[in-house]
Structures are given as C-alpha cells and as structure tokens.
Structure 1
Amino acid sequence: MSVLILAFLSCLFVTLLIVRSAHLHKRFTADSDLLGVQKFHSVAVPRVGGVGIILGTLVALTARYFQNSEIATFGLLLLFCALPAFLSGLTEDITKKVGIKIRLLATIFSAGLAGFFLNAWLGSLQIFGIDNLMLTYPIVAIAITCFAVGGVANAFNIIDGYHGLSAMVAVMILAGITYVAFQVGDHAIMIAALAMIGALAGFLVWNYPRGLIFLGDGGAYLVGFWIAELSVLLTVRHPEVSKWFPLLLCFYPIFETLFTIYRRVIVKRTHPGMPDSSHLHQLIYMRIVRWAIGGHDVRLKTQQNAMTSPYLWVLALLTVIPAILFWRYHMVLKGFAVLFAISYVWLYWSIVRFKVPRWLSVRR
C-alpha cells in the first residue's frame, strides 16, 4: 500500500509543477492543435503527463528498494526496459515529428529488452496451430511477443481521446492484474502494478474532469507497455493463469485498434495510420453527449469531454470483470471476448445509423 500512496503523491506533485509552469514550456509541450480531426479541447494543454507518471513510479519503486530489494529491482528493471517506448512518445509530444512507425519500433525494442532481461517471452497463446509454431520455432514466439506488446501500447494511445479515458481504463486493467498476481503469490508483479496505479491516480487528479494536462504519446506508450509486459510475465511465470486472461482484460483497447484498422483499410480504403474522427469514443461524444449538452464555450466543451469517458469506462468493465472472475478458464474467457466483439459492433453501428438506444441518451 505504501508503494501506491508514494507513487500517487509523487505523480500528483510533479504533474502539479508541470501544470503550474505551463507558461514557461507550453511552446514545446502544449497540444496547441485545436482544429485536428481528433482534437476536442478548447485551449492549449500540456501533453507531457507521462513525465509525472514515470517519475511517480520511479520514486515509489526506488523507495521500495529499502524494504525489498528483489521486488524493487524487478520493477526498476522493467522501468528501464520501458524507456525506449516512453522516450519515443515523449519526443513526439515535444517535437510532433516522430511518426507512428518509429514509436512502434521503439516499443518493440522495449519488448525485446524486457524479454532479454526478464525472460518475458510468450510460450503459447492457447490458439490451435499457433502454439505449435511457437514451440517449434522460438523466433516465432519472440516475434509474436514483441508484436503483441507493441500493439497493446499503441492501442492505449488510440483510445487516449478524452479526459480520463485511457488512464482510467488502465487503472481498471492494472487492478485486475494486481488481483490475479496476489492470487498466485507474485508480489513483484503486484507491486509493479500498484506503483503504476498510484501514479495514474495522481495524474487523474489534474486530468479528470477539467483536463489540465494530457497523457500524451509518452504516457500512453509507457502505460500500454507496462500493462502488456506485466501481462506477459504473469502468464509466463504462472501457467495456471490463462493466456486469455490479459487478452480479455485489455480487449476494449485491442478490439478498438483492430476495428479501426478494418474500418480504415477495408471500409474507407485508406492508410491504417491515417487519423480520423470515427472512433467509438468520438461518435459517443459527437452523437450522444454533444447533442444533449449543446454549446461551444470552454466550460461546456470541457463538460462534454469529461462526460464521454464514463461511457467507455463501463464498456471496458464488460471485459475486465469477467476476466477477473474467470482468469483460469480460457474457454470462458474466449466466449466473453466474442460476446464483447458482437456488443461493440452492434453499439458502433447503432450510433452510426442514428439509432442510439434510449438508455444511452443523456438527459439535461
């Protein structure tokens, strides 16, 4: 518990300093593009929240070293492995010149570092045919692990569109990892997850609901990498944990990414990396929340932005709760994954066709 509290207070303080000193660094750190297709804020806001999160996690894990050096070393080593992913995103936040390919490659490199130093290589996926390939050819297992980690990290960047959305989803997922790590007695993974939860909580104080600071690419890639690696390590170190536990746990951001690729490549016939305003969270904002709370002044736009995220938090819980309840049983987890996919597609097309269920509508 001390790790969670220390990470919370450290991130809270660092993020406050960033917010209060924004006038000194906003020419470098602020998200000043207010007209982009994926922009839904009214004033320039610092997008380097990842700095507070990584420092909060670092302080908490360093302090833990004096209580249990082995557990702290695990967390600090994982933090070291995360640096390429974090720094590539942070560089994009500051320069706006680091493309998605570079960020993905940096995250894949981080996954390789974690695999080398922490033996974080997936041995199977509990999918017929693929498991045999992974067992027969280790290079396939390495490639799948790096690709999966990079994909999850990018998925958290994709859903990072509204105040508190990506950060709160990450907290829910990390809570699930913490619970299962406790169940199997893996204190190193549990402490690492708690440290990140504490840092995210400190960030959320300033991010939700007012949006005084954004997670940024650096923060999103850091959090996504952290979740992906803890998931890999949890299943590798404890075979009783189904490989589909972390997959279902993260299924909302993962499926959002897969559906986005389908929508852009198959439906719109554009490049999969081309930004648009057709994500589910953007449709909820434009066709449910904004219609119910009209107006264009800064206060109302902030309120609209903040009211969008809880819709997606509830959606994420549809995978997080069953993943926690059935973390041993891969067939049950697969069933819930299929059910979520069907529910997501139904909800998406209902909103697109202006047939929003009445129970989703906001009443003023």
Structure 2
Amino acid sequence: MKKKFIELFIVVILCVSFVLAGCSTPTTAATPDASGEKTPQEYIDQLPEEWKSQPLVALNQWAQSKHAKEGTNCWTCHGNDPENLKKPSAATCGTCHTEQFEDFSMSTHATSLVHAMEKDKATYNGKEVEYKWQAYDAGGPDHWGCANCHSVGHISEYDGSLGDCATCHGGHLFSLELARSPETCSGCHEGPGHPQVESYNTSRHGIVWNTLGKDYDLSGSTQEFWARQETDPMPAPTCQSCHMPGGTHYTSHGKAHDLMGDRAEDYEEQVTFMVENSCMNCHSEEYAREWLGKADEMAAYSKARIRQAKKMLEELRKDGLIRDTMEVTNAHPIAGQLSAADSLWFRANMATNRAFKSAYHMSSQWAGRQGWTDQSFDLMEFRSELERLRADAERDRQIKELQELLNIAE
C-alpha cells in the first residue's frame, strides 16, 4: 500500500510540474514589442497628427512595409503638404533605388505611355489623322482600353521622369512578393490580342507553378531571393524568371521580336541571352533552342498568312470596292468604324498575335486552337467577304453595261 501511495504521489508531482511549466512558458509567439520591433499601430501613432487623417488602408499598408521600418514616411514621397499630396514619380523612388530606376528607365514599361502618344499626326489608309488611342472623351474606352495599362509609363508632372513603380509593387505596401507573382502581370498582359498570361497558365510552366508554386516563398531582398534560387529553386519559371532575371527592371532582356512578331536586329544575341539566363536553368541548350525554333516557325507561318490577307485587302481598297474606314478622325482602326472586310482582317490579325505570342509562351491551347485555328476560320470568312464584294462589283458592272445598251436601243 505504501509503495502504491509513493508512486501515486510521484505521478501527481510530475503532473503539477508539467502544468506549472506550461503556465510559465508563452503559448503564443512573442509580440513585436517583446522582440524590439514596433507594431503597425505604433508606426501610425508616431506620425504627426495632420498625417493620421489619410485613408486607413494606406496607413496600415505603409505601417506594415519595409519603408516604415526604414524611416521612409508619407512626406518623403508625397511632399510636405498632407492636404495636397504629390504623386510619387519614378525618380522619387530612384533617390534610394538607384539601380532599379536606371534599369526601369530603359524598359518598355517606362516608355509605354510616351511611345503611344509621341506622334501628333499619323497616316491611316492614306489619310492624315490625329494620333490618339480612341476618338472618344478621355476616361471612356481610351482609359479602359489603353491608358489604364500604359500608365505604367506615367509621365511625372513634377520632374518629367517616366514610370509608376506602384503599378507592380502596390500602392503603399511596396511588396516584393506582389511584384514577383505572375498574377500581378495579368493586370495588363492578357486579353485576346496579347494573351501572355493565359498562354503561360496553360503551358507546362504555368501548370507546374500554379500547382506547386503557390506556397513558394517569394519574400526577401533582391539579393536574398535570387541567391535562394541556387539552393531552393522555384518549381517552375514565372514571368519574372524569364523577363526580369536576377531582379533586373529592364524588361526587354531576351526580346528577340518586335510587337508585330518580326525578328529584332539583334535576334541571335537576344535568343542566346534568354537560353543561357533562363531556359538552361531547367533544360539543355539543345532542347531550349528546339522549342524556341518551333515558336519561330509558328510566327513565320501565321505572319505570312496575315500579310497575304493584308495585300488582298489593299488591292480591294485600291479598286474602290471598300469605303474609307476613317469616318472618325483617329489612327486606331477600332475607332474608325471599320468596313466588314477591314473588321474581319483586324480580327484575323488578333488571332495571329495569339498564335505566335502564345507559341513563345509554350501553350498549345492558345497557339493552336485559339491562335492558328481561329486565324484559319477568320481568314476563310475574310476571303468570302472579299469574293462577295468582287462578285457584287462585277454584277453591278454588268447591270450598268446592260442599262447603257438599253438606253442606246431606245
């Protein structure tokens, strides 16, 4: 009996000890205060009163950002007047992020607005027109169809620098994770005329990333993140892996073709750069060049067909069988109230873009079914329309001749 009592006593003592140990040990992670770091609310509280009336979401995002930790405050970027905030320019960011600003300034992101607005006049169908995106009031289709994405090249009214860094990094959180995510690119690089994101998502690259990359750690400084690729590489390439290797902000690396699918003058140099800096992280050089070569073939075939169709369209116009499409003074075909023939060619050209651009993003679905196949059907309808116009013109000519003969007979 005494032995059992002693054993029971020991068990009770051990249980009490575990309970007391559990009570004395924190059951949650240390708070920012305990670790010596400020909480987001503390960063907000230390702001001057006149700045605390800014939108709560903006304040909270800033308070969680590295900017807050580094002492970059509202007035550092927005100026000293909280009632008249300045929009930060790319040059504003460049005061600290010098290398990134220099790279970005040479990119097509920075010049996207300038290139779209640099001309006062243009020629369309042999007619001089005003050079605008759309012939509508600002804020309508011109905003949603063009300006909203081209504004990544925002022209600062304060210093004239080009670019809006917040387009990719977010308004006040300034997230590197956001800028490294393919989803961020989808805001602009998608749609029927340039389905880069859609074709990426349906490629083997995109499928693997969307399956295995969701939980991949995209955090860390540029140096930390890319150094991590040496030991813990991403399961599949993202947009940034190929177009912004090493964290560069010059997005034209490896760009071997222009927007119309024609080879750049430095084609071989650009292909070699892409193969060596991106493709060979996963594939052999031979394999990478083979697949890029297949994409080149798709570009060549699809562009040859649309050029032939364009030639047929111009011959029809030369013969006076389709009306001038520029009833609205504008250089963009969509706003020109296109004839049926012009509209069908324009639609086929959009399919052409899908065919070759999706091939370079390795998507059979978008390069094949929604690119090459759609182009084929659109060109069939286009040729049928041209045949109809010529047949109508021939019928009208014969009727006119017959009327002239009848008039002579009378």
Q: TM-score, normalised by structure 2?
A: 0.29
The structure with the larger Rg is: 2
Of structures 1 and 2, the one scoring higher in RCO (CA 8 A, sep 6+) is 1
